[in-house]
Chain A
Amino acid sequence: MRLWKSKTSRQNLITLAVLSIALAVFYGLDSGGVLKRSLSGQLVPICVYIVMALSLNLTVGIMGELSLGHAGFMSIGAFSGVVAVTMLGNSIDSPALLMTLGIIIGALLAGVAGFLIGIPVLRLRGDYLAIVTLAFGEIIKNILNCLYVTIDADGLHAAMFNGMELSGTFIINGPQGASITNRISTFGTGIVLVMVTLVIIMNFVHSKEGRAIKAIRDNRIAAESVGLNVTAYKMKAFVLSAALAGAAGVLFAMNYSAIEPKKFNFNTSISVLVMVVLGGMGNLRGSIIAAIVLTVLPELLRGFDDYRMLIYAVVLILFMVLGANTRFQQFKITMKEKLKKRFSRKEAAK
């Protein structure tokens, strides 16, 4: 098999296979009713956070720029998805089709937002880029906080600041957020979305664009001097990352009966960032594992809820400080070698 011979595609296939088996097992356990309720309620959020972590990893790990407004794209996807599903809900019966359309519309709008925000943002670098993405995240939250959308027989009505004069029933009601009439997110759709996301990102990373973006990350000036269009390549990655976050947002929103704009605040962006850093920046498998662990763990350790963000903060600092510590890196290398030696000795003894 040619696919098996190339190391990257072999690695990708293994990741896909392991993840699909794991998710299938969970799916079986869930439909068999074996899982505890607290855990089965976490299945859709797990998928949401896997997609979020994978998409943020594209910006932070592959592109090497810190985005602190990822929850903003998620909220654009969530709110536009809710509007789309409510609007189409009367004419389409199949929940699967409705969900697919909702996710596509949410992803498209978040992608458009990513493009518009990317135009100013991607001209900047480093600290400035990070703080501007944070600013955009806050602006999106602020705007959604005073957006009112209603629906009646004539179609959609929207207003800013004051929704009192709008006729029909509210879909989005300012600070109270969106109300969802049919909660159509299922673990099944979540699994499909995770798989699609993973395939898209893997293909993107190993395509011409992905290699160009990694080259730009490692040395921007060298990449520019061999003729790579830095902004265009970065824009592709940024828009893709935003669109996937939007898709995750739709899946997230459709899992609840109501969702507020303040749910998508800076804390959410940071939680996803912690997943990416913990899993290893640029490492897709790591992001998936970290997303699963960090979504399930707080549920299992209810008593530690107060300490959760504190621990996240310490983890962030420790990872960065130890990563820069040469003695620790040396220690890691020697430990790895020792393990390898012991392992090969055992093999030889056999």
Chain B
Amino acid sequence: MAFLSNLINGLSLGSVFAIIALGYTMVYGIAKMLNFAHGDVIMIGAYVSFVTITSMDVPPLLALLIAMCVCTILGVVIERLAYRPLRSSPSLAVLITAIGVSYLLQNAALLIWSSNTKVYPSIVTFEPLHLFGGALTIRGETIVSICTCIVVMIGLTLFTGKTKTGKAMRAVSENRQAAELMGISVNRTIAVTFAIGSALAAVAGVLYCSMYPVLIPTTGSIPGIKAFTAAVLGGIGSIPGTLVGGLLLGIIEIFGRAYISQDLSDAIVFAVLIIILLVKPNGLLGKKVTEKV
């Protein structure tokens, strides 16, 4: 039964990873950059919802909506001020800027909300599910995060497949110049991508903190890097790949924690990243990209 319980916990953590990883994978696929600050947008989302729930007494769902709005604006502003001026710069410059943004958000949060640990109130209010006569307990957060992940995945697949903006996004990721010649505004498409990714980051932040209720300014950075690992594992740029990668990574982390070592769980996840990049750099469901000279 412990195995089943670990598996379910892994799936629930993995679905949060998958939601975060969507932000990475979309931005990487379309803007061809690693948005290092994505993890910190999660943290901002969590803080915003925390403040609205605890000090303004807003219902959780409304708090989630407010957090999503704030993160969406934040994502678009970051893209406009920090990343857009570097659109044609070498990737080293873009990466250093992204690290700068990540640090800026962390330290801004440190100044606004101090480094004191905040205990996050879970947004899920219904009772945990007891199965097999109480031998297996499934927390409400687990069910909510898995369901949210499924809804988000279906929604995003439909969005990129059916809508005009979604088609524009796919076109830009395929070939930026050609898309521009077809009358697609590349800047607007990238801004929309950042907006969607950041809104999802807020959702992920609320879910993550409901599961692990410790909120500090660096809360987002490690889940951020792990979610990037999930995106790479599934194949960057692919939405189903992100789901597979996220769930796998969540299971790996929980099993590593349960059966190998509590202290080394981060190291195990990072080792997975290294192995994937060496053995199958395109990920499980990614497309192979050949380099033209």
Contact A139 B271, beta carbon cutoff 8 Å: yes
Residue numbers in B under 8 Å from A277 (CB-CB):
96
Residue numbers in A under 8 Å from B103 (CB-CB):
270, 309-310, 312-313, 316
Closest beta carbon of chain A to B225's beta carbon, Å = 7
B119 is an interface residue with CB less than 8 A from chain A = no
Report B's interface with A, CB cutoff 8 A: 33-34, 81-82, 85-86, 88-89, 91-97, 99-104, 106-108, 110-111, 221, 225, 228-229, 232, 261, 263-264, 266-267, 270-271, 273-274, 277-278, 281, 293
Residue numbers in A under 8 Å from B81 (CB-CB):
321
Residue numbers in B under 8 Å from A289 (CB-CB):
none
Contact A131 B273, beta carbon cutoff 8 Å: yes
Contact A66 B96, beta carbon cutoff 8 Å: yes
C-alpha gap A321/B78 in the complex (Å)? 12
Contact A310 B104, beta carbon cutoff 8 Å: yes
Interface residues of A, count at CB 8 A: 45
Contact B228 A320, beta carbon cutoff 8 Å: no
A120 is an interface residue with CB less than 8 A from chain B = yes
Contact A142 B266, beta carbon cutoff 8 Å: yes
Q: List 18 A-B contacts (CB under 8 A).
A: A124-B281, A126-B91, A127-B34, A128-B232, A134-B225, A135-B270, A136-B270, A138-B266, A138-B270, A139-B271, A142-B263, A161-B263, A309-B110, A313-B107, A320-B97, A321-B82, A321-B86, A324-B93
A314: nearest residue on chain B (CB-CB)? B104
Instruction: Bits for A246-288, please: 1 = Cβ < 8 Å to B, else 0.
Output: 0000000000000000000010001001000100010000000
Contact A135 B89, beta carbon cutoff 8 Å: no
C-alpha gap A221/B293 in the complex (Å)? 8
Contact A317 B97, beta carbon cutoff 8 Å: yes
Cross-chain contact of B96 among A266, A307, A309, A316 (Cβ < 8 A): A316
Helix, strand, loop or mixed for chain B's interface? Answer: helix
Contact B273 A313, beta carbon cutoff 8 Å: no
Helix, strand, loop or mixed for chain A's interface? Answer: helix
A95 is an interface residue with CB less than 8 A from chain B = no
A241 is an interface residue with CB less than 8 A from chain B = no
Report A's interface with B, CB cutoff 8 A: 60, 64-66, 68, 120, 123-124, 126-128, 130-132, 134-136, 138-139, 142-143, 145-146, 161, 221, 266, 270, 273, 277, 281, 306-307, 309-310, 312-317, 320-321, 323-325
Contact B95 A66, beta carbon cutoff 8 Å: yes
Contact A317 B82, beta carbon cutoff 8 Å: yes
Residue numbers in B under 8 Å from A64 (CB-CB):
92
C-alpha gap A142/B257 in the complex (Å)? 13
Cross-chain contact of B33 among A60, A123, A127 (Cβ < 8 A): A127
Closest beta carbon of chain A to B95's beta carbon, Å = 6
Closest beta carbon of chain A to B33's beta carbon, Å = 7
Contact B277 A270, beta carbon cutoff 8 Å: no
Closest beta carbon of chain B to A75's beta carbon, Å = 14
Closest beta carbon of chain B to A127's beta carbon, Å = 4
Q: A135-B274, A142-B266, A310-B111 are in contact. List 15 more A-B contacts (CB 8 A).
A: A68-B99, A126-B91, A128-B281, A131-B228, A131-B273, A135-B225, A135-B270, A135-B271, A138-B225, A307-B107, A313-B102, A316-B96, A316-B103, A317-B100, A320-B93
